[in-house]
């Protein structure tokens, strides 16, 4: 290996990986020189170290003179190990001893006939002047070692797409947990039941939360996948019960036809295969953890059902979802984990290859104009755009509005070229005139720099790593305006962590956008590829996956299906309650009986059911409760003044519209006895009036009645609207009070058939009264008589109607500004029309030839599944559903790297093993464990035991990089002990273990040193 290469290698690793290395000591290639043979290096100077920079100095030294020095690493048997460096004299004092990357002697590797089993041949140490017999193996694989996909499948599952629509596994638009069964969850944005994502957990659930994924049959065996959405593992022995059709979504089903138990723990976010429930008939219903007295604790029991289908088993589904024809979602992200909390705002793949346009593929069509004559070279992911400061060649947009970026993530690939002194912008969305926006740029010194600017304040943050080696590097930054957390990433690792609290938002509105140039005109010199911008903060694991050289996806998914279904309007469906719940007004009620839990615990139990304790907003509601459960001794109510003493609110957030306190109640007032009586109840033995009581009271005489909203009917009303029992939709508008005439116009503007609510019956009045809470909104007209006593007053000008807190009708002056209640026709629900159409996977965009196809953005490293243009047009231009699911990519397993080393010591000497040092990257909780063993020969190694030499980890102490001057270096001499430390053969074993998010560690390089000492 040539001296120039060695110098380049050491300089590269020092600059890229060891910016804060103590003393900067590196062992290189060259001839060993004894201390006595170095005229410039005496014993006093050898004792100089970074911790004692002036040791050995004899009086003032001449300024500007540099002399050699050494850092003693220690004595190992018959050898003294030290590292050669140099120190500079300044102000008459010798400075810190540092490695200079300059070698005084040529680095020539002598010819050797040794048949080594290692990656490299042993060569003399160049920077150990204390031991002329020092030799070392310089191990640097062509590609860093990392873990590979584990061929073991996580679990088997049937296809969600095969489930018939009439199984009640889906109720859409969904509103509550119970609407979505069979491993489905309610997407609150789509209001649609979508597939549970593997690895996803509910952080609000402090125990387990079990669901049954789509079932399947393999080799005649019926398989029931049981998954855990909670944050704690579910124990073994959880019951599964099989029932005849017709009981799905009930909490107390009839006698089961078969039962079986889980035989393993279900970890958070994972699933297990359960067999042994016998041969199941199609349509049979399965419930996990039935509430029959044998149940295990879990957060939610309303989602525990599935319907058996004997479809073929697929690889476990790790990504699934649904897009509708009125949403432009022609790209499906294929990351190993979903981009939780981050919405894609724009993405320029820069794969055009020619022309003057950079196309935004996010669906928002924020295309950029590319300078004429631009070059489109091969990029990191497909094509790229070559940016040039002589021209210039850039991509720009005059005014692009990305919205109010209070949380932001930006990611791209960059590769500098030519001279490194060009400062230039990478991506900029910054208006220097208004000081709003952000940019990421490269400084003249080669540093990555992020600038955040708003309301006249601009702040710069530099990354600690400068990727200036003319290779592709992944660059990203994230900013959270709520916490101020700013992170800059290079190649997936954090290189700057700061807090930016100057502003909480970067502002909305159109601003200039550019790739390759700052607003001031500084142009980057190099290539840029695949720029993406998100609203929200991408996690460190997500960014690391983006940066992996072998791709975040780890290969094409083994299983993928996409189905397209046109829609037609169906029949109106009115709101309803889940089985076992009773409907009244606009709510559902269920009595769970008495228990010994406290009132606080009773409220928590109702919240777990998706509701709250009983809130008596009107006298009629009290009458309903007493008539529905007449045999009770009393009821716990949801009223409390625990937040503000004396101010009572119901636990669902509604105000006290009326009161019905018993005489002398409430008596828990400030300064009085029992001032902590912050909760309410009715003791029917003392009458039906309300009383206050301590929230920690555990009296078991009073029943827990929970209430929650009606299940939103299938597709009847838009988001923010409430479906009525007469098939209409209501919307209460409180944000901007209007006069009666203005309110009528605002309601009419919502579309055909909309206007102020027309109350046509007392039943309808009861319903809307439960909607308005403490508002007194305008309504249009009423039929019947529910006027407040003394109303209408007939007062001049009081010609308009409002609804008061208790649902009574009053006349009022029409010019008064009030909230208002609108009423309109329902949206017809989407009903599937015919059989779904399965789409065809093609090789690339160029292979798109029909209107039923999709492709992967990079078949070897897929990050997106993209609908072909004709298929995208079908989705976005017709009422339709697009349902998709993709199999789990194999998780990473451990990787064991083993290297065997034989010394080439001359006759009369034998090896004396010295050090093992290494450079690694171990993100998250990944780790690399190093073990060693020795023997007299290679053949005898198998009978020797390995000793743990060290572990490379990020935390609790960062041991990712342990070099010669680091305290975590492995001292082989002390570890192996005599005589094993002087055997001829050494074997090193490194075990690479991925972290819990299946992110791989990397082993970049390591060195093994030994000394040839006289045989003993």
Instruction: List all residues 6 or more positions away from 59 whose beta carbon is below 8 Å from its beta carbon.
Output: none
> E strands along 466-579, which residues?
473-480, 485-490, 493-499, 511-515, 526-535, 560-569
- Give residue 528's pLDDT: 94
Nearest Cα to Cα of residue 788 among 765, 770, 811, 766: 811
Give SS3 for 118.
Answer: coil
Give per-10-residue mean pLDDT for the chain (1016 aa): 29 28 28 30 34 47 84 82 82 76 35 57 83 89 77 77 75 81 75 69 83 91 92 93 88 86 90 91 93 89 91 80 69 52 79 90 85 87 85 90 86 80 86 86 88 83 82 90 88 83 80 93 91 83 60 50 76 68 87 82 84 89 90 88 85 85 82 69 90 83 86 65 80 91 93 89 83 86 82 84 86 92 76 72 87 78 80 83 77 86 91 94 90 94 96 93 90 95 95 80 91 88
Count the Cβ atoms, other than its own, within 10 Å of residue 647: 11
Cα–chain-centroid distance for residue 878?
Answer: 32
Q: Which residue has the tokens 């035991």?
A: 945
The whole-angstrom separation of Cα 281 and Cα 217 is 11
Q: What does 299-362 look like in DSSP terms, one character per residue?
A: S--TT-EEE---PBPEEPEEEEEEEETTS---EEE--SS--TT-EEEEEE-----SSSEE---S
The whole-angstrom separation of Cα 660 and Cα 669 is 17
- Give residue 839's pLDDT: 93
Q: How many residues does the chain have?
A: 1016
The whole-angstrom separation of Cα 85 and Cα 98 is 5
DSSP H helices, 43-148, are 43-46
Cα–chain-centroid distance for residue 776?
Answer: 43
The whole-angstrom separation of Cα 641 and Cα 643 is 6
Q: Would you state the torsion angle of the CA atoms of residues 71, 76, 80, 81, taken in this order, to the nearest 10 degrees? A: -40
pLDDT for 469-503, tens place per residue?
788 889 999 998 888 889 998 887 788 888 888 77
The whole-angstrom separation of Cα 24 and Cα 26 is 7
What are 107's two structure tokens? 């680095």
What are 601's two structure tokens? 């615990």
Start-to-end C-alpha separation, the chain: 33
pLDDT for 853-881, tens place per residue?
998 876 655 667 889 999 988 887 777 88
- Give residue 834's pLDDT: 57
What are 374's two structure tokens? 């631009």
Give SS3 for 376.
Answer: coil
CB 833, CB 565: distance < 8 Å? yes
Q: Which residues pair with 590 in a beta bridge?
A: 706
Element (DSSP H or E) covering residue 872: helix 869-877
């Amino acid at each position: 290996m040539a001296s120039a290469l060695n110098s380049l290698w050491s300089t590269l690793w020092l600059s890229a990986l060891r910016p804060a290395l103590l003393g900067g000591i590196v062992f290189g290639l060259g001839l060993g020189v004894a201390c006595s043979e170095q005229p410039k290096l005496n014993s006093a100077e050898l004792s100089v170290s970074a911790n004692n920079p002036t040791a050995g100095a004899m009086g003032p030294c001449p300024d500007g003179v540099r002399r050699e020095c050494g850092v003693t690493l220690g004595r190992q048997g018959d050898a003294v190990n030290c590292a050669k460096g140099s120190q500079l004299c300044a102000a008459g004092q010798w400075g810190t001893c540092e490695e200079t990357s300059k070698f005084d002697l040529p680095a020539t590797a002598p010819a050797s006939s040794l048949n080594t089993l290692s990656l490299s041949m042993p060569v003399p140490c160049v920077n150990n002047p204390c031991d002329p017999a020092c030799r070392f193996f310089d191990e640097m694989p062509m590609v860093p070692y990392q873990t590979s996909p584990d061929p073991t499948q996580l679990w088997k599952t049937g296809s969600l797409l095969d489930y018939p629509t009439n199984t009640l596994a889906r109720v859409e638009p969904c509103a509550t947990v119970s609407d979505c069964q069979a491993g489905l969850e309610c997407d609150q944005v789509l209001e649609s039941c979508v597939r549970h994502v593997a690895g996803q957990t509910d952080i609000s659930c402090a125990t387990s939360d079990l669901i049954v994924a789509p079932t399947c049959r393999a080799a005649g065996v019926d398989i029931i996948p049981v998954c855990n959405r909670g944050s704690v593992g579910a124990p073994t022995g959880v019951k599964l019960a099989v029932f005849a059709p017709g009981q799905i979504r009930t909490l107390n089903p009839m006698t089961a036809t078969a039962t079986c138990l889980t035989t393993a723990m279900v970890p958070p976010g994972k699933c297990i295969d359960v067999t042994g429930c016998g041969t199941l008939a199609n349509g049979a219903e399965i419930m996990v953890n039935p509430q029959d007295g044998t149940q295990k604790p879990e957060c939610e029991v309303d989602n525990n059902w599935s319907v058996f289908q004997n479809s073929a088993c697929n690889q476990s589904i790790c990504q699934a979802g649904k897009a509708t024809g009125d949403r432009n979602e022609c790209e499906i992200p294929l990351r190993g984990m979903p981009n939780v909390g981050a919405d894609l705002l724009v993405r320029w793949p820069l794969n055009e290859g020619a022309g003057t346009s950079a196309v935004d593929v996010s669906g928002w069509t924020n295309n950029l104009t590319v300078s004429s004559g631009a070059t489109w070279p091969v990029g990191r992911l497909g094509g790229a755009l070559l940016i040039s400061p002589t021209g210039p060649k850039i991509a720009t947009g005059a005014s692009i509005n990305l919205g109010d970026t209070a949380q932001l993530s930006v990611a791209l690939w960059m590769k500098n070229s030519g001279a490194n002194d060009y400062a230039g912008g990478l991506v900029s969305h910054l208006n220097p005139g208004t000081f709003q926006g952000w940019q990421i740029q490269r400084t003249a010194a080669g540093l990555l720099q992020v600038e955040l600017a708003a309301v006249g304040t601009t702040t710069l943050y530099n990354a600690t790593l400068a990727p200036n080696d003319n290779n592709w590097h992944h660059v990203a930054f994230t900013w959270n305006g709520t916490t101020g957390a700013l992170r800059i990433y290079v190649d997936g690792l954090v290189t700057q962590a700061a807090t930016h609290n100057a502003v909480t938002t970067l502002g909305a509105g159109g601003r200039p956008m550019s790739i390759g140039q700052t607003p001031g005109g500084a142009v980057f010199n190099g290539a840029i590829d695949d720029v993406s911008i998100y609203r929200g903060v991408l996690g460190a694991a997500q960014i690391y996956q983006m940066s992996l050289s072998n791709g975040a996806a780890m290969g094409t998914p083994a299983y993928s299906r996409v189905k397209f279904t046109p829609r037609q309007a169906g029949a109106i469906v009115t709101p309803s309650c889940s089985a076992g719940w009773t409907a009244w007004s606009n709510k559902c009620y269920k009595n769970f009986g008495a228990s010994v839990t406290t009132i606080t615990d009773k409220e928590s139990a109702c919240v777990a059911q998706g509701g709250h304790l009983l809130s008596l907003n009107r006298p009629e509601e009290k009458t309903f409760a007493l008539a529905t459960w007449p045999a009770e001794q009393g009821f716990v109510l949801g009223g409390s003044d625990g937040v503000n003493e004396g101010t009572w609110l119901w636990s669902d957030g509604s105000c006290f519209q009326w009161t019905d306190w018993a005489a002398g109640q409430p008596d828990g007032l400030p300064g009085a006895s029992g001032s902590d009586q912050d909760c309410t109840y009715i003791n029917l033995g003392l009458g039906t009036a309300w009383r206050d009581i301590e929230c920690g009271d555990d009296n078991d005489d009073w029943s827990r009645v929970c209430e929650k909203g009606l299940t939103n009917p299938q597709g009847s009303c838009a988001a923010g609207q409430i479906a009525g029992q007469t098939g209409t939709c209501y919307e209460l508008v409180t944000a901007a009070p209007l006069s009666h005439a203005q309110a009528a116009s605002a309601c009419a503007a919502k579309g055909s058939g909309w206007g102020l609510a027309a109350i046509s019956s007392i039943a309808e009045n009861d319903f809307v009264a439960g909607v308005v809470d403490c508002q007194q909104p305008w309504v249009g007209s009423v039929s019947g008589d529910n006027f407040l006593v003394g109303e209408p007053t007939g007062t001049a000008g009081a010609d308009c109607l409002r609804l008061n807190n208790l649902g009574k009708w009053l006349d009022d002056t029409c010019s008064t500004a009030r909230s208002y209640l609108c009423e309109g026709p329902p949206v017809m629900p989407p009903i599937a029309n015919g059989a779904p159409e399965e789409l065809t996977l093609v090789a690339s965009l160029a292979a798109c030839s029909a209107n039923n196809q999709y492709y992967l953005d990079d078949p070897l490293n897929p990050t997106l599944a993209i609908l072909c243009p004709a298929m995208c047009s079908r989705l976005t231009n017709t009422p339709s559903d697009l349902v998709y699911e993709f199999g789990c990519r194999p998780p990473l397993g451990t990787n064991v790297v083993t290297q065997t080393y034989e010394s080439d010591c001359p006759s009369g000497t034998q090896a004396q093993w010295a050090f093992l040092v290494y450079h690694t990257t171990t993100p998250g909780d990944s780790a690399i464990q190093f073990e060693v063993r020795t023997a007299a020969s290679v053949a005898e190694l198998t009978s020797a035991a390995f000793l743990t030499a060290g572990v490379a980890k990020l935390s609790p102490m960062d041991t990712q990089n342990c070099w010669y001057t680091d305290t975590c270096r492995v001292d082989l001499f002390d570890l192996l002990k005599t005589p094993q430390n002087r055997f001829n053969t050494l074997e090193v074993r490194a075990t690479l273990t991925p972290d819990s998010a299946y992110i791989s560690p990397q082993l970049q390089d390591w060195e093994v040193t030994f000394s040839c000492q006289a045989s003993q």
